[in-house]
Structure 1
Amino acid sequence: MPITIGEVTGTSLISINMSATSTQHLPDPGVRDRFHRRSLEHQRPLSTVTMAFTVVAFLCMVGARNLVDGPAPPLAYRLCCALALGLLVLAIPSAKSSWVFGAIGVAYMQVLVAGLALNAAGLAQPLLWVLPALVVIPICAAPLWLTPTHFFVGSALFYATAFALLLGEPRAYDVDAVVWMWIAVIGIPTSVVFHFGFYRFRRNHFLLESQLAQLAATDSLTGLQNRRAFVKQAARRLDTIAPDARVSAIFLDLDNFKSLNDRFGHALGDHALHQVAQVLMDQTTADDSVSRIGGEEFAVLLLGGLTGALQLAERMRGAIEAIERPDGHLTASFGVAEHRHGESIMVLLDRADEALRRAKHSGRNRVCAERALQPFTGDDARAGSGAAQRHRWEDFYLISHFQPLYSLSHQKQVGFEALLRGEQDDGTLVPPVVMFAPKPSQDEGALDRASHAVHLGNACRSLPDDAWLFLNILPATFIADGYADQLATIVRASGLETDRVILEILESHGGSVDDMSRAAALYREHGFLIAVDDFGAGQSNLDRLLRIRPDLVKLDGELIRATTHGTEQPILPKLVSLLHQAGMLVVVEGVETTEELILAVESNVDFAQGYLLGRPAAEIAPPESVHRQIDDAFDVIAQGRAHQHALFESEVEPYRIALRLAADALLAGVVMDDAFATLATFERCISCFILDDSGRQIGYEVAGPAWSKEGASLHPVANPRDARWDHRPYFRNAVLLPGVVVTSNPYLSLASGRPCIAVTLAVQFAAERSVIGVELDWSELGLPWPAGE
């Protein structure tokens, strides 16, 4: 499946450009109606204030007219005009359509002209009173008309009525000239300019607002809805569906997608995501909502019941399976759930996600439906009722506090760690140093075993039905003979299932790794999951993990703040990637700041725990605010990733251009020194080189300015001509994309001992294919790294 980065990028740009230009004009009546409705929302406050001010001005005119001698119409008539104007102003907020709004404006203008005629009646010089109003009123009203039609109709009727009522008497020639000059030369042109200027401004603002809203709701790679837009639209649909309507959700995740990116490059992975999006669009209808939730996860909301959704998911699975990848075919796992009356979109997606996890665990490339809803019985209510359990221990009670753990991808509580606390008779807590103080006459595991009974009883009462319980256990208790059977019995007696309990092996000197590995197999036979606590501190090491093979690894909180030497880059992403490759899910503890939460999300951590997300407490707090915090962290990362990508691209682009010129020179027969002459002068250039088809260096490297910088030189392996480099990603990616300049992720160079980046290009010389490249010094602090790092 040959593909270039340019092709993938071009596809994305085409979809973005199409969406960006789709609203540049307003030929679609639907778009025009939305624009007018939006304008109505903006114009109501301005029109209300302006027209109310005109009523005040009219009342001032009425008062001034009463101070002038001469016959005048009754004051009551003029005040009735003011009252009619006021009532029209009060009607503006209730105008629901642009036509009603326009009709109010036309009526207002006619009443205003009538009021002017009444005030001017009986005056010796009526034009002195009304001519300024005939000029100013249309000009002030011009920006308030919503549409050109309203403007022309309203203005024409205003002037027609004005001429009929006010200007019908014969006048001298010079007076007529002045009147026409003010109205025809100043008033009418100015009002036309004002109306169409403001109309164009409002239209352009509406188009820009619509374009930004569309871009904000679209995944730029696939053209599908993004997660935020999908959830928002789905929530609206669920709120408005008929009571007897059926809606279902499909959640799918591409299988082994990470290996596609890691082995063949992100360009190929992006193309695969684009193909999957096309499959989903082809298989669904315009009434269905299709979204890329994030990464390689997609969601579909469709009308219909579970049976139809399962059939659609199976068709999608077959279509995706037909998509080729270099090492075979793409596959995806599907979870399907039907909406239940009254539940939110997030609950529906959670149930579909649970079915998706079962599809993954049962072998991938399959469709699984939600579990059947179990009927509620009175026994369920009795099991979940009652006060929290307390266990007498010496001169205080043992109680449970629960701290939530969140799935960052799903942005929800998935489990709770049970933490042991001591409570006095008056309700005050016992200090931990007192409660956990070692006592020579006491069995080390007695308190540990007592805590399990307390936690399990309280968990059944307090925890949501689908949440994990993280149960701390000392190594000595974990390997005790017969305790696996005993604990399984206690769990079932408390009303829980063993697959909801994760045994968290604490950091301790007790127990050998071999004993814990054998014990872990016994606990797994009962259905327990296993976690290792505080990896990265104390006795924990990789050997311990690889022997016990836990399902989850809880990283010590200090690892969030750990950075690499020299570059000050966080080590958490690499550590998480290593544990994922070993088949273990990752929990980060000690998340206390927003910056640490953002790093955890960016590092692809599965679950997070810490004071920022929830403190230990006897009662479980609502999670809504934490959901928003995690969602905001995703938004920050998305914005930062784009910014980081732009910075990195701007930094390496000159080297790409110079490498392309060097390749052209080499193909033209120019010698290496001259071909690389320009590139070798760039500041970060360590050396320029040519590798043959087997990855061995041809000739010598051309040194650049960064070659002479002081650094850790690893002398036995410092000569690159002694090695072959076809196993390096910068070589493999160049060969996979011939003719395309590719940039590697930062790596530690054997030659210099410094973080470096390679820019490479595969070219076909007369004799064979070669890879030319330049190695760049990337050890300086503050340099941008690729967004994926």
Structure 2
Amino acid sequence: MDKNNWLHRADATVSGSGTAYRLSPPAGFLALTRQIMQCTREGIVVMDARGRVMEVNPAFCLHCELDADTLLGRHITHVSKGLHNGSYYRRIWKRLQYQDQWEGEVEQVTRHGEVATHWLMLRLIRDDAGLVTYIIGILDDISRLRQSEERLSFLAHHDSLTGIANRAFLLDWFNRISFDLEPDEQLALLFIDLDRFKPINDGFGHGIGDRVLQALAGRLQQMAGANEMVARIGGDEFVLVWRDINEESVLFERAGRLLEQLEVPIRVKNNELSVGASIGISLYPHHGLEIETLLRYADTAMYEAKSRSRSHISLFDSKSFARLEQRNCLAQDFREALEQGQLYLEYQPRMTLGKVSLPAVEALLRWRHPALGVVMPNVFLPAARDAGLLGKLAEWVCAEAAVQHSRWQKQGWHGRISLNMSGLEPELEQLRILRLLDILQRQGVSPADFELELRSDFIMRRSESLLRVLTAFRDAGTAIYLDNVGRGRFRFDTLKTLPVDGIKLDRSLLAGDMDSFDHAVVRSLLSLAGTLNLDTVACGVEQLNQLVFLQKYGCRQIQGELVTGPLPAERVPGFIPALAGSAAPD
């Protein structure tokens, strides 16, 4: 190296207080400069005017993974296995020629096959005639910085727990992909809400809940193709976007398989946890062109699915939107309904076949709306959920039924009240059991004077938290009945392990003219219940021939219009003598 030109014109003129002084390099300045090069973290390379390496420091050798002897004499573009083509370096050289400097990112592949990112600063050193004599480069490894930036970018667009896309990334992805669709291509947006995640999260802890979410996210990814999207947009809410869905039958078949995958129990530590889901679907472009519109419509359809006991998949339609608007209005009114006593209970008597007795009445919740008249639970329970009042509603039902039972006891009626918890089961799973039992006991009644009815769809999923709740009720003396049997989900192998005392045959089994198949189904269910020593109640009995058939094959109790419809509380004790004319003989 030409020592006389090392750091060309190192001497300089410094002016101060009007006097100019020329500073000459001190003795040993070159040695000092080289020592600084040896110590600095940045890689430093000195090249000739053509870009051939003349001198490097240890940091530069480290970044390039080559020793100094190998580097000397090489052209800078051949120093390492870069990821840039010749045109990239030509653009750098042009910038240097016009501006005497350039800085930017360069990448290379390390000996371990990883991509290293460096920040390279180049400066031209010219002589007094303006000719380039040297090129000085300073190289800094910014791989970790880039990794941090990429990580931050990933976190900004992905869910940190499950690693799948978040809402922001979903919106951006949808807006991009919608421009690439074929004119006749349709997208299906599935809004997936986990039915029973919150009680698991509350009952088993957030660590277990996180493991469940991660497992479910993995299953959702398996149900999405390479050009499709899976995103988590809320605590227990996910979105799937499927492509090439042009037939409704194919869509529902695929969604059904998805639902089955989500319902497969998840084993975490020693717990086997089952999480169901409800799925609402909207279609692009049929239902809308904007992602926010499609999300809102799919969310609406999801609530429709959640309100059903047979199917947990619903496709959005205009009627769904009208029901959503009504539900929003009811949600605003529901708090006032609780505070102003607009809610009330009716009671559906249950008759024991072959006996003149009234063993129990089913408490049915009603809302006397000041403008709409009597509103039924299937309409207002979603509104109560939207208002966050399901817990208070469950407590109100228990308190009201307990007060009424005390009155009936004083009037001489000692039957049981069956509390229909359809739509309120999540409140049971959230371990409010002690609160509800305390309400009964504070009113001076025994839990043994009550029954709980839960939908078969709900109880058949057998979550650990729900089983603990049911066991606690039974230990206190409360009987548990499985409702909607014959319409909702039902598994024979699960039934024998559940803490239930009886089943209620759904009214759909007796609807219309029963054919041989209908008869066989009812006989099978009655036989199964008898084998397991479970009580049986047939709902929706309206004709005498139905009563005779049920009694022949071992049904123990019935309720329906043949006995009577729902009664106000004051008519229940006086109704007992009227059963004599309707009872079948022994």
TM bucket, shorter chain: 0.3 to 0.5
Higher helix proportion (structure 1 or 2): 1
TM-score by structure 2 length? 0.39
Higher relative contact order (CA 8 A, sep 6+): 2
Higher strand proportion (structure 1 or 2): 2
TM-score by structure 1 length? 0.30
